[in-house]
Structure 1
Amino acid sequence: MDRSDITLERMRTFVRVAERGNLSAVARELGTGQSTVTRHLRELEDAVGVSLLSRTTRRVVLTEEGSRYYDHCTHVLRLVDQAADGIRDKHDALSGTVRLSCTAALGVMHITRLIFAFQASHPGIQVDLSLTDERIDLVKEGVDVALRLGPLADSSMKLHHLAESTRLLVAAPGYLGVHGRPSQPADLAVHNVIRMSNVAGSETMTFVGPDGNRHTVSVKGDLKVDHGLAAREAFSSGRGIGSTHRWLVDDLLATGELEVLLPDHSLPTTPLNMLMVPERAKVGRVRLMVDYLAEQIRRLPGMS
């Protein structure tokens, strides 16, 4: 074994291949050619003297020795990041990349603006922001932190509950002028309701009335969407009634483009959670982003 050939660059390449299971995906991520990734892996295996990966026609998987070596590599790379951050902390000059994934509509409406302000205060930190409503594998995708609306399945990730997102029933004045204003939940049965195709149970709405009683009503309509921004556009265009997060339409409510309906009835709130890769949560720049977002997100409209 020639230990001088065990470089941090080759270890990082090996770790990402182990996590993604695909050489071409890692090459694109690292901005290099697949031949370079293959060479890094071959040189690392030659240096340690064992086969770390088993290559099939479809994917790359860890050997038994590779699995043990992966654990050691992630520990070493984490220590390298923490050591660098420890030095930079003293000079208040944290640098490096934080990879953040966020629910799409929330990211467009609010999180991007928060990131701009964060980078203005910390110009040495690059942010790689991915907007998706899919439940991604943080380790496989190389993401440090994810912001997710809705209940989450059990996970090995570190979870931090940030807030409850208030939901409202809204419609445009133009729609109400033509179709009338519902005075009770049961009235929604005859209205055109904008529904979310990627939200389970969107065929019904459940309200809690001023008396504390629950009211569930079946709803229907001629439009389903799978993105919050599309629902926002549909509401403001007078296409129908629907439930939405306050942070998504607060500006439209302020200008009168949308109105709140059944204000004495409440819809269930939706949890907003932050997921973190446990090892990455200890890196200085990631901790800085986590603390900043946790504080700022609670100030958004409708986050209680």
Structure 2
Amino acid sequence: MDQSPVTLEWMRSFVRVAERGSFSAAARELGLGQSTVTRHLRDLEGAVGVALLSRTTRRVTVTEEGRRYYRHSLEILRRVEQAREEARGTGAAPSGTIRISCTAALGVRAVSGIVFAFLDAYPGIEIDLGLTDERVDLVREGIDLALRLGPLTDSTLKVRTLGWSRRLLVAAPAYLAAHGRPLVPEHLATHAAVRMSNVAGSDSLPLEGPDGQRHTVRVGGRLRLDHGLAAREALIAGRGIGAAHHWLIDDCLADGRLEAILTDYALPSVPLSLLLVPERAAIGRVRLFIEFLVARIGAVPGFAAPRPSPHGPPPP
């Protein structure tokens, strides 16, 4: 058995291959040639004396021994990075890459501007911003933090509620001119609705009236979409009435491309959560971005700060 000492470079290559499930993807992320990453893994497995990865022509998977070694590798690499930051001292300029995943429409309309400002403030830091409405495995994909709208189920991550996103019912003036303006919630049942195929319950609109009375109206229509920006375009094009986050259509309300309807009735607000990989949360540049984000997210149209009580969103 090869008794060569294990290097951090080998370990980093293994971690990325384990997270990505691909030698080529890991090589691109690390800025190395695929042959170099392959050699790192061969040397690492020779040094530890067990197979860490199972390779086929179609995929790369982590063995049981590899899963245990992966957990230890993450901890070692995190401690090395923290030690480097502490050795450099507080006067050193922060550097490195932050990998972020964000709900797609929110990323385009709100978070990207915060990211641009952060890059201007910290020129030594790079950001890899991935926009998707899919629930990404942060550990497997090597992502430091994620921003997600809606309820969450993953209890293995650190979760922080950043606020609540207000929604409202809107339609284009041309649609309202052609089909009439709903005056009470029950009128919505006779209108076309722009619905989201990737949002549970989008066939029903729960509304609370000024007297506190709750209304749940079933809605229909010929158009379903799985992306918030596409829904925005459909609403502008007059394809129907829809429930939209304020930040998604605030400019359209301002310039008259969309109008709010049934304004005396409120839709439930939606939580915005920050998800963190525990092993990455203590890294200095990640903490910097979180502080920067928290200080600015409240300026996004329609966002309300978290309530002191955990029992629900603030009144709409």
TM-score by length of 1: 0.94
CA offset digits 1:150-186 (Å, max 9, x no partner): 1111320111111111010001222111211100011
CA distance in 2, matches of 1:95, 1:115: 15
Contact 1:85 1:285 (C-alpha < 8 Å) held by counterparts? no
How far off is 1:256 after superposition? 2.1
Partner residue of 2:289?
289
Structure 2 stretches of 5 or more lacking a match? Answer: 305-316
CA offset digits 1:259-284 (Å, max 9, x no partner): 11111100011111010100000100
Partner residue of 2:123?
123
Larger % of helix: which? 1
Alpha carbons of structure 1 residues 89 and 296: separation in structure 2 relative to 1, 3 Å: farther
CA distance in 1, matches of 2:113, 2:198: 26
Partner residue of 1:275?
275
CA distance in 1, matches of 2:221, 2:64: 54
Contact 1:88 1:94 (C-alpha < 8 Å) held by counterparts? no
Partner residue of 1:160?
160
Aligned pairs for 1:165-244 (under 5 A) are: 165-244=165-244
Local SS of the residue matching 2:301: coil
Partner residue of 1:264?
264
Aligned pairs for 1:1-304 (under 5 A) are: 5-304=5-304
How far off is 1:7 after superposition? 1.5
How far off is 1:58 after superposition? 4.4
Local SS of the residue matching 1:86: helix
Residues matched between the structures, number? 304
Local SS of the residue matching 1:223: strand
How far off is 1:20 after superposition? 3.2
Q: Which stretch of the first structure deviates more once superposed, 277-286 or 15-24?
A: 15-24
Alpha carbons of structure 1 residues 229 and 54: separation in structure 2 relative to 1, 3 Å: closer
Identity percentage of aligned residues: 62
Q: Which stretch of the first structure deviates more once superposed, 115-124 or 171-180?
A: 171-180
Contact 1:100 1:144 (C-alpha < 8 Å) held by counterparts? yes
TM-score by length of 2: 0.90
Amino acid at match of 2:224: K
Contact 1:189 1:217 (C-alpha < 8 Å) held by counterparts? yes
